[in-house]
Each structure stands twice: as structure tokens, then as C-alpha cells.
Structure 1
Amino acid sequence: MACEEEIRGLICDIGRRMYEKDFIAANDGNISVRIDEDRFLCTPTDVSKGFMKPEMIAVVDGQGRQIEGPIPRTSEIFMHLEIYKALPHVRAVAHAHPPHATAYAITDAKLPSGILPEVEVLLGEVPVAAYDTPGTKSFAQNLRPHLKQTVNTILLSNHGVVAFDQTLEKAYFHLETLEMYCRILLIGMQIGNIRPLGELKMRELLESKRRMGLADDRCGG
């Protein structure tokens, strides 16, 4: 695993990417990385992730208590900790408000599956967590029904998206994949009817995914 200094730099780099991609605006979004069993780096509150410096990064324990850092930690740390608690393999969490994906989060429209093979392999099914006030423990607890090995990205109702994986770059790429997928869907709907892969091709795709060692509830993974 990279040293803490390198991880701080990577958090700032991913924050800039999120900001430059318009996944976040102003002081939106938050990022965390597990650096020890009970020690986490996380972004500070009220700081633009596009202009964040490594020395601004906070350190918290498994209860969300701040150990280090000149600026208070993100108010949404409980969401991150809920994910780490449920999924020990997860080492990084990224939360943002990518506009096309968040458009699905604020409507009753169901995010369709079985459309793009890359999305089925890299993301699989993307659940929607119920809304509660961001930053509260009850908001974080709403993720619990969806936290399992086959999930790496969750839509947050009326809020945004959270993605997580073994590395921060992978978590960020899940945000990118979902946002591009939602953008393609919304453009496609303006042109015509969305054409699904079909049951046979989906079975073949899920079998390929199983052989790759990627878990998916739909293929008994």
C-alpha cells in the first residue's frame, strides 16, 4: 500500500478530477481512504475538492472522531464508515453529484440494466438508497440493505452517488462509468427507444463475468 503522503496526494488528484468533470460544484463531494484498521484519511468540510491541498486532509477513527487535520472533517463521514464496516475489502470511498446520474437519483425513473456490456461487467446492478438528511447517522444507515460484495456503486435518493472499491482510482472510475452510462441513456431516449441486449446475450455476458471472478447476484456470483 502507498504511504500516507502519496495517498493524500491521490485524494487531491481525484478531487480535482471530480471537480473538473463537473461531478461536484463548489464544496460538494467527499473522499476517504482506509489507511489502517481504525484510521481513515478523509476530505475536509467547506473546501473545494478542485483546490484541495494534501495538508488539508483530515484523519479520523472508526467512530468518525477527528484525530488530525487543521479543518473539520467532512460531515458525511458516517456514510463512509458504514461502507467500511460492512465491506472489509473496501479501501476507498468517493461521493459526488455527477449530473446525469443524479438526475436518476432525484426522479422515480428506474436505472435500466442489460443495455451496455461494460456497465454490466464493471458496475452490475446499481441500487438506490432511501433519502435522509445528509451527514446524519440515519442517512448512513440507509445504505445497509445495499452493502454487499456484488455492489460497488449506489445511487443516493435526492442526493447523488457513492462508489467504493479496493483502490481510490477504482472507486472514482465507477463514478465515471455510471455518469457516462446515464448520459448515454438520456441522449438515447431523445433519439428513439432503448434497445436491450436481450436475455440470451445477458446470460452469456454474466457467464463471462463469472469466469472473470467478478461477483454478481444475477449469475450466482
Structure 2
Amino acid sequence: MDSKHPKYQIAETIELIYKNGLTTTSGGNISIKDADGSIWITPSAVDKGSLTERDIIHVFEDGTFNGLHKPSSELPFHEAIYRARPDIKAIIHAHPPALVSFSIVRKTPNTSIIPQAKFLCGEVGYAPYELPGSKELGEKIAEAFSDGSQSVIMENHGTVVGGKDLSETFMRFETLEFCAKTSIRAEIIGGLKALDSHEVARFEHHDNMLPEFNHDHKGSEERLARHHLKEIISRACRQGLMISSYGTISCRVSDNSFLINPININRRALNIDDFVLIKNGHKENDKVPSRAVKLHTHIYEQHPKISCIISTQPPNLAAFCVANAKMETRTIPESYIMLEDIPILPYGSQFEGGREVVNALGKHVPILLIANDSVLVTGQSILETFDRLEAAEFSANSLIDSRIIGKLQPIQDHELQDLKDKFLS
């Protein structure tokens, strides 16, 4: 995305934010600071649902601007942030629902619920309320950023997020909203359990280094698998089952090889050539696979019937992960048949080859939760694995919502046995 002109970057990002329900028609603004010191910014009072690159405003250092409209009324705080933080080159301000919930109770979300969020978002700053568009608001927000924060909750207003470029800023923004939404859902089922600094650090030392092999020829089966993986990861992002900053998917190509997505690439922007082929314990040359590559390797080695693995963090399943809570699957027949009983493993079980994860999986355990990390789903095909993931997230959503209206009445033991005898024997 960031090789494109700033106008196109901003238009594409605001469209993505709007389509994913992270802002309203009139709410929010995005800017990029150009190398010459000028700023490209969204306009004032233009529909975010139909905004195009032609609507983006170019603001020069002397305060003059060029464009079809006036620049956003929040331009002053964008300028204040850029002055306070020369390392920040892009800013997103919006009113996503979960982060606004934190804003109006005057709290900041805890990003230590999962290690990826902590590394990407860090500690979240807080800016006291001031009148929108005012110089004072810009001063308060710039002060909140001056301590090194990359994200700030604006009291009774929303959030503002910065980054080295717009791609990183969007990933941080989306991840912060994920943290907020997941935390709220976790509170409904018993409260979240955050990681300490030592636990977070374990993630960064997760070993994904493998010897290389030269991969000059891609056979037809591999090329088809690459297309299927790209399609399903894009679908997962559209369906809210994966976000831009986290999610791993892999599939077998042969008995001794599989494809897996690379590390640190926006999941929404993956191309078919980005996926990394792993063969006989070696990785495709000049690519770096996901940190989960050794875990996936051991799963495929020990479970020959598994042909696809997805690790991800949809908000309702992630709520069970960060609450360290067991998820009941005896809800409706379709859920139990697809999911059976879902164990939850302790944080850390996914590291160092994931022996505990590998041993927990089996014919009647196709899916499991890892505390403060992810849901790991397996299947005999890419579509079956994705279907199972969808069913699990839908079930988690229903379970959390049901807490508000009554006590869960699970399928009874004799009814469960009938399901097992007919569908799972």
C-alpha cells in the first residue's frame, strides 16, 4: 500500500475502516506527512463511505491547501502530533465502538492480553477532554504522544493512532480496537487475565528460523494451494475472523511439504507469492515464515490426516482465551458435531515446538484454545477448517450474549450421546 501516492493510501484506508464498521459516515480522519513536510488529509464534511482519492486535501507548511474541499477540522491536532513526534508519519483518528466505550468510561485498554498486541500497540496514552478542533485539544494529544505512546484514548471522544507509515498505523488501530472489544467480551465471562512482561517477552523469542532451499519451480498443486490460502485469509479478514496484524494459516501440499503465511506482513495485503513453502524442515529461500512454523510442522508430522491449520484471534473466541475460560460446546447440535469438546491450554504451550498442543489434538479434538494467544483450528481441507473456525466464533458469540439474558441450558448427557453415536462414532 505504501508505495502508492498518499491520496490513494488514505482513500483506500478510510474505505477499509468504514466497511469494517470502525467509523461512521461523518466521523474520523486520516493524514500522512510527506517527505517535504506537507500533509495529506481527509476533507471536512465528506461522506466516508464514498470518499475517493480526488477528495484528499494537500496542506502545505505555510497553512495553504489545495483540494476540492476544506481540510478536516481536526487538522490542528494532526499537526501538533507531527511536531511532537517526528518519527510519526501517518495518523488515524476515529470512533470505533469498543474504543469509544473505553473513552466514555475514561479508561485505556490493556494491550498485554496477547503478546502481539503489546508489541504492536505498547502502552496506550490518555488525553483529557478538550473542544474538538481546538488548539487545546492538539496540545493535550501531543502531550500524550510525547512520552513515546503510539496510541492515545481521547477522553469522551475516540482514539488517535500513529505509525511510521499508514500500513503500520492501520494495523495498530485495528489491533487496538480488537484489544478493546476482546477485553469487554472477556469481562462478561469472568474478567481478563493479562500477561506480565516476562510472558510477553517469550513471544518475541519464538524461534522460526529454518535452513533454506532454492525454490525455482512451483507445481500446479502448489500454485492452486497458494490461491486457496489467499482467498481464505482474505475471507477471514472480511468476516472478522482475522485482523491485519495477526493470524496464521497453512495447508499441506504433499506429505513432506506445506505452505504457510510469512511473518509481519499485513494479512489483508498478502499476495499468493508471499506464502512460504516448507519442505523437509527447510524453508523457501529469501522468505521468513510465521513464528508458528515449527508448531505447524510438528502438527503435520504427528497428524497425517490434518491438511490445514488456522491460528487466529476472532474477538469472541479470543475473549475465552484472555479470560482463560473453558468454552461450552453443548449448545446446539451443529456446534457440537463440528467442534466437540474444546480444551484450553496454558499460555506458553505453543512455544518450543508446541508438544502440548500437538499431543492435545486428535480425531475428537480438532480445535483448541491457547490462553492469551489464539484459537487453533485443524481440518482435512482448507474449507473444513475455515467452516470450523466460523462455527466456533459464532458459538462463542452466542455463549457470551446468552450471559446477559439467562443461564445456559446445555444439551443433556443422553442427548449428547445420541449425537455422538450418529455423527461422531
TM-score higher than 0.5:
yes
Shift in alpha-carbon separation, 1:71–1:110, aligned structure 2, 3 A? closer
CA RMSD of aligned residues (A): 2.1
Contact in 2 for aligned 1:11/1:31 (Cα 8 Å): yes
More deviation, 175-184/28-37: 28-37
Deviation at residue 205 of structure 1 after TM alignment: 5.0
Distance 1:169 1:189, change over 3 A: same
TM-score, normalized by length of structure 1?
Answer: 0.85
2:113 counterpart SS class: coil
Which residue, 121, 136, 139 being the options, matches 2:137?
Answer: 139
Higher Rg = 2
Q: Secondary structure at the match of 2:170?
A: helix
Superposition pairs of residues 16-165 of structure 1, within 5 angstroms: 16-62=15-61, 65-148=63-146, 150-165=148-163
Q: Quote the offset at 1:151 in angstroms.
A: 1.6
Q: Alignment partner of 2:88: what SS?
A: coil
- Greater relative contact order structure (CA < 8 Å, 6+ sep): 1
Report the TM-score when normalising by structure 2: 0.46
111-120 or 14-23, which moves further after superposition? 111-120
CA distance in 1, matches of 2:107, 2:44: 31
SS at match of 2:152: strand
Structure 1 residue identity aligned to 2:105: T
Shift of residue 113, structure 1, vs aligned partner: 4.7
Counting aligned pairs with the same residue, the percent is 25
- Judging changes above 3 Å, is the alpha-carbon distance between structure 1 residues 144 and 205 closer, same or farther for their aligned structure 2 residues? farther
2:223 matched residue in structure 1: none
Structure 1: 5+ residue runs without aligned partners? Answer: 209-221
List runs of 5+ in structure 2 lacking aligned partners. Answer: 206-425
CA contact (8 A) 1:14 1:172 kept: yes
SS of residue in 2 equivalent to 1:118 = helix
For 2:145 and 2:84, the matched residues in 1 are separated by 6
Alignment CA distance shift 1:74-1:108 (3 Å): closer
> Does the CA-based 8 Å contact 1:127-1:146 persist in structure 2?
yes
Runs of 4+ that moved beyond 4 A: 205-208
**Which one of 193, 196, 206 corresponds to residue 195 of structure 1?**
193
